[in-house]
Amino acid sequence: MTTTTEARLLTAADLLQLDSDGVRGELIRGVLCETMPTGQEHGEIAANLTIALGQFVKPRELGRITTSDAGVWLERDPDTVREPDVGFFSAAKVPPGVRVTGYSEVAPDLVIEISSPSDSRREVHDKARMWLSHGVPLVWVVHPETRTVDVYQTDGDAATLGEQDSLDGLDVLPGFTCAVSAVFGPQAAEERPGE
């Protein structure tokens, strides 16, 4: 006689509790996928983009910007909670003054993902497509190794921008632009110890 034991699927509430216990990760159809700190370069790129977006969004009261630990609840039963590296939520989706204490239950208008050296091009492409399938109209995937950004929209193929190009907020953030070179900062002459 054989018996099988199925692992219990986790919920978004379980994930919040795990986070308070120091376990960090995303939930994909009820399965925990732990995440680890991604390093200095990744953090600097996320900060550069957050600052650039914030300088445009905040004075105009266009919405809210979140970073990776915020989480977005995308699916229920089983639950999926993903963490964009940077997310922008328009004021139309999350009105000013509305307090969101748990995970957002609405998809962002813009998602920015920063690829890690261990990510394959296919993995980040699939993640961008996942965001689009959940109603995110604009996704930027940043590739530190090649200093490029892939721009995904719901109505077309991805376009790859190099350092000579500029990111454009398109219909999501009309009037927003940011030089791709500013996303990365100065090019390092050599790799520093610990990198």
pTM of the model: 0.88
What residue segments make up the domains of the chain, in order of their start? Answer: 36-184
In degrees, to the nearest 5, what angle opens at C-alpha 15 toward C-alphas 28 and 43?
A: 80
Q: Cα separation of 87 and 90, whole Å?
A: 10
Q: Cα separation of 84 and 73, whole Å?
A: 11
36-184, superfamily in CATH? tt1808, chain A (3.90.1570.10)
Residues of the chain with pLDDT under 50: 1-5
Burial level of 38, CB count in 10 A (0-12/13-18/19+)?
middle
Neighbours of 17 (CB within 10 A): 12
pLDDT recorded at residue 97: 87
pLDDT recorded at residue 107: 95
Q: Cα separation of 86 and 48, whole Å?
A: 10
pLDDT recorded at residue 191: 53
pLDDT in tens, 125-168: 999 999 999 999 999 999 999 999 999 998 878 999 999 999 99
Q: Which residues contact 103 (CB under 8 A, 6 or more apart)?
A: 12, 15, 16, 70, 71, 72, 73, 81
